Amino acid sequence: MNILFFSAQSYDREYFTRANLKTSYNLRFLESPLNVDNTALIKNEKVICVFVNDQVNAEVIAQLKEKGVELIALRCAGFNNVDLAAAAAAGIRVVRVPAYSPHAVAEHAVTMLLSLNRKIYKSYNRIRDNNFTLAGLEGFDLYGKTVGVIGTGNIGMVFCWIMLGFGCKVIAHDVYENKELVQAGVVYKSLQEVITEADVISLHCPLMPETKHMINRESIASMKKGVILVNTSRGGLIDTVAVVDALKKGHIGALAIDVYEQEEHLFFQDFSDTIIMDDVLSRLTTFPNVLITAHQGFFTREALTQIAEVTLNNIRCYSEKKELTNEVK
Ligand code: NAI
């Protein structure tokens, strides 16, 4: 079985090469992303392996079909970058890694929240400058605060458990209620109620047409003044321009994002010698109360191991004509 990897980084090579000791497939790694200009790079591979920012739209899928691709193996959970209807029409099947250490992403969300609230990113730099003062580093106790969680699937659920452990009041919104969380004290509410009542809001639902820009001018207007907003899910959940305005007015107290609407043009690449042309992101980086990481929520040893093993197992199931339990339709 020949498998072509797009957007491959050094860690993809490392973890997939190790996981492949069990399967011995022919793996070919390309740094290039998959997009409409790059499908010519596919030679004789029936399986391609893609990541979060590869563009798998209808045009690309038509080219994949011509190239004889039969399976798109996503090495991630989210599949908003794949036109599933076009894939189905082309007879190309799509598999993903539905859960790989939800703890990795949930813990990253908590890391960002704590760092932002307690200004750890500022004190790190201050101490290196021999400045041992505290003014400007004030935070607040999370204990007793209301934390709103939107989406309580694999990752949101772990985030809820951690926040409950901190002694927070956890309110949540999801299309399904998790009974275990309810028993533990999480109170499910409407989206509007969660947005209105929370001191901290953390997003853990998928990006779909109905969730795009769920955080917008209108919803921000009903948030508490000074709310902390955390997004480790997908950039498109937030209308970033509206959030920038709310940060300028002080309505949003602080923002932590691991994902960004236009991240496919920037994330996972080094532009340290270049002028960034994205003015919204550049504006965001000027705020002292905004913390940005470049989609690293998943980036733990445990998650990378899981991703590689589950992806290769998905491909093995396909090649052996077994049931594809991780298929997305
Ligand atoms: P999941 O599928 O286990 O959970 C998603 C939850 O969102 C489900 O409970 C679902 O019912 C809920 N949901 C769906 N529509 C909703 C709506 N309109 N309002 C509220 N809730 C809704 O997914 P999981 O594994 O928890 O991942 C969540 C998201 O995290 C993924 O969609 C992905 O975008 C993102 N992610 C980010 C990573 C990172 O490195 N930053 C890594 C992995 C995932």
Give, in degrees to the nearest 5, the angle at Cα 295 between 289 and 301. Answer: 120
Q: Which ligand 1 atom sits closest to the C-alpha of 178?
A: 9
User: Is any atom of ligand 1 closer than 6 Å to the C-beta of 234?
Assistant: yes
In angstroms, the Cα distances linking 293 to 129, 183, 265, 279 are 23, 33, 15, 17
Spell out the domains of the chain, with CATH numbers in brackets. Answer: 2-100+300-319 (3.40.50.720), 102-292 (3.40.50.720)
Residue 166 corresponds to which amino acid? F
Pocket test of ligand 1: the residue of 205, 208, 258 to mutate, having most ligand atoms within 8 Å of its CB, is 205
Q: How far is the C-alpha of 28 from the C-alpha of 1, rounded, in Å?
A: 11
User: Which residue in the block uniquely carries the two structure tokens 């957007």?
Assistant: 7
Q: What is the pLDDT along the chain (329 residues), one digit of tens a residue?
A: 999 999 999 999 999 999 999 999 999 999 999 999 999 999 999 999 999 999 999 999 999 999 999 999 999 988 999 999 999 999 999 999 998 899 999 999 999 999 999 999 999 999 999 999 999 999 999 999 999 999 999 999 999 999 999 999 999 999 999 999 999 999 999 999 999 999 999 999 999 999 999 999 999 999 999 999 999 999 999 999 999 999 999 999 999 999 999 998 899 899 999 999 999 999 999 999 999 999 999 999 999 999 999 999 999 999 999 999 999 99
pLDDT of residue 264: 87
Q: Is 295 a catalytic residue?
A: yes
Beta sheet of 252-257, edge-to-edge order:
187-188, 169-173, 146-150, 200-203, 227-231, 252-257, 290-292
Pocket test of ligand 1: the residue of 100, 101, 155, 188 to mutate, having most ligand atoms within 8 Å of its CB, is 155
User: Is any atom of ligand 1 closer than 6 Å to the C-beta of 206?
Assistant: yes
User: Which residue in the block uniquely carries the two structure tokens 């498109």?
Assistant: 236
Rounded to two decimals, the pTM is 0.93
Q: Which ligand 1 atom sits closest to the C-alpha of 208?
A: 15
Q: How far is the C-alpha of 100 from the C-alpha of 77, rounded, in Å?
A: 8
